[in-house]
Amino acid sequence: MKVAELISPSSIFLILALPAALCLGVAIGIFNPIYAAIIAATLVMAIIVLLRLDELIVMLVIAVHILVDSYLGLAVYQIALLMALVLLFACYFGQSANHPWTRPRWVWLWLLFLILTIVPAMEGAAFSLTNSIGYYLEIIFSPFIMFWLGNIIAKDVSAVRRVFQWLSFLAALFAIHTIIQATTGKFLFESARGYANLVQASNFQIGEGVSRASSFFGNPNGDGIFLATCFFLPLGLFIESERLWAKLIYLLEMLSILLALMFTYSNGSWIAALTGLLVFIFLVGRVHYSVLLLLLVTALAVVALTVFPSLVAVQLSRARDQGNLSLHFGAWQTAMRVIAAYPLFGVGLGNQAYLSIAEHFRVPAQTKLLAEPDNSYLQWGAVAGIPVMLIFLVLLALVFWFSWRNWLAIDTRYRPLFAGGIVALLALSINSLTVDGWTSPIDVQYLGWLIAGVVASPLIRRCLGSQSVPPVDGMAETAHVQVGASWMDKAKQGSQL
């Protein structure tokens, strides 16, 4: 193979552009360090794209969305979305046999979803233009791009494993940050905006001396839903891996995430995690794995009750809080009244539109103003109308159906890996019954739709179909043919007699 065939024109352009950009960054850095940091980050991103480390890039996209767009309040620049679009273009122009290209699944349904939400975006712009446009980009357009990237990147089982490994690493970092915040009272890398948010929320105190940890997510529920969703990724890797050192790493990630989840005191996240564990035991693929999981869950429960009795007591006390439960039911009733009044296009995208209009329909059980109805599915109907809500539910159902088909198609050894992704989506969906999981512009919609694109990717079955017949299957087929031939020979001899 010639060298010219190994290096594409885009690679040559990047190689020549990097030194020039580096010199420009040094020159600008002398006068403004912020611009130098931006150029340095751009250079790092270009190098990673050049090396085609796609799995690392999508993890960085999610990290930038949480840390930069959401926590630092720079969502107006949509940095994470721009990074995702750059990766999408790189995948298109760099497509090859090793990096196949595919259009997103159910593209016509996605286009309908994108078009029908334009009217709610215009309605919401009457209350706040930036809030409405931000919601459209964050919970409608960006999920489409992340789902598409997931379809492209999941070209085989190895790629799926690498994506989940990077996401597990990111979740472990956020878990460690949450644990440090809860145990020491210090918020590492705290910004002025984040400090003001904690002060305004009274540090999310739920009792004397007890505060709920929120990490970089702005609220404990966002932190909880992120951790509960990500927990099943290292769990799937733990079961699927055959190396002891790798199992130890995944086990440490799981324990860190669970401990951090305890410090969020999120009822919905724990319900989603426990329900997901039951489903994962079913999807794990082998009986001895299911028994191992049951033993592991039992051991973790005993350890939690023994080592952290105070944390468990606070969690159970909060779960029995009737006022919190009554507020949820009241918020749902208010949302249903809003849907009945605005069935076609809702009140408009953005929390400003819902906060203003839903107040006229508030039921007595909802004792305070809410910018969203604590339920993603009802929120879709309230802010964008019943047709959009139904399309979203259809998209979600298709994700689970095609991920189930991929789970059936792959070898039993790799089923725990896909089970981790499927159950992560299930946990997110269950948690979205009590918080704005799928509809939060600052939490996990990037993560959720990336995982959805990965586990439902059409390239998985295409890759399996292009592979040759495994040796065991080939031997079985040969034996079957030989038995058939032997039976035909005996039949011919009988007819001659």
Q: How far is 251 from 272, CA to CA, in rounded Å? A: 20
72: which DSSP letter? Answer: S
Instruction: Write down the pLDDT at residue 415.
Output: 93
pLDDT in tens, 468-484: 434 434 434 333 444 44
Token pair for residue 301? 């429960």
Instruction: Write down the pLDDT at residue 45.
Output: 75
Query: Which phi and psi angles does 385 have, rounded to 5°?
Result: 100, 165
C-alpha gyration radius of the chain: 25
Residues near 196 by Cβ (< 8 Å), separated by ≥ 6?
A: none
What's the mean pLDDT when you consider all of the chain? 85
Instruction: Write down the pLDDT at residue 81.
Output: 95
Reported confidence tier of residue 153, pLDDT bands at 50, 70, 90: very high
Instruction: Write down the pLDDT at residue 4.
Output: 43
pLDDT in tens, 272-319: 999 999 999 888 877 777 787 888 888 888 888 888 888 888 888 887
Q: Name which of 401, 402, 379, 375 is nearest 389 in CA terms.
A: 379
Q: How far is 341 from 386, CA to CA, in rounded Å? A: 11
Mean pLDDT of all residues in 202-208: 82
Element (H, E) at 156: none
Q: How far is 186 from 183, CA to CA, in rounded Å? A: 8
pLDDT in tens, 307-348: 888 888 888 888 777 677 888 899 999 999 999 999 999 999
Question: Quick check: 121 pLDDT over 60?
Answer: yes
Token pair for residue 44? 């790092």
Instruction: Write down the pLDDT at residue 349.
Output: 93
pLDDT in tens, 415-464: 999 999 999 999 999 999 999 899 988 889 999 999 999 999 999 987 76
Mean pLDDT of all residues in 212-221: 92
Question: Quick check: 489 pLDDT over 70?
Answer: no
Element (H, E) at 287: helix 287-307
Element (H, E) at 454: helix 445-455
Instruction: Write down the pLDDT at residue 292.
Output: 79
Classified as helix, coil or strand, 206 is strand
Q: How far is CA 167 from CA 50, 257, 423, in A?
A: 21, 12, 15
Whether 464 and 410 have beta carbons less than 8 Å apart is answered as: yes
Classified as helix, coil or strand, 308 is coil
Amino acid at 167: L
Instruction: Write down the pLDDT at residue 209.
Output: 76
Instruction: Write down the pLDDT at residue 326.
Output: 86
Query: Which phi and psi angles does 206 have, rounded to 5°?
Result: -120, 0
Mean pLDDT of all residues in 129-141: 92
Instruction: Write down the pLDDT at residue 47.
Output: 76
Q: How far is 309 from 303, CA to CA, in rounded Å? A: 9
285 Rama class: left (phi>0) / alpha (psi -120 to 50) / beta = left
Number of Cα atoms under 13 Å in the Cβ half of residue 318:
22
Beta bridge partners of 211: 205
Instruction: Write down the pLDDT at residue 405.
Output: 94
Q: How far is 400 from 430, CA to CA, in rounded Å? A: 13
pLDDT above 70 as % of the chain: 84
Instruction: Write down the pLDDT at residue 484.
Output: 44
Amino acid at 365: A
Instruction: Write down the pLDDT at residue 40.
Output: 67
Residues near 403 by Cβ (< 8 Å), separated by ≥ 6?
A: 418, 421, 422, 425, 452, 455, 456
Instruction: Write down the pLDDT at residue 308.
Output: 85
Classified as helix, coil or strand, 189 is coil
Q: How far is 213 from 253, CA to CA, in rounded Å? A: 18
Q: How far is CA 413 from CA 283, 368, 409, in A?
A: 12, 50, 12
Query: Which phi and psi angles does 207 have, rounded to 5°?
Result: -175, 175
Instruction: Write down the pLDDT at residue 24.
Output: 53
Instruction: Write down the pLDDT at residue 483.
Output: 41
Token pair for residue 313? 């007591």
Q: What angle do CA 493, 494, 496 make, to 5 degrees?
A: 65
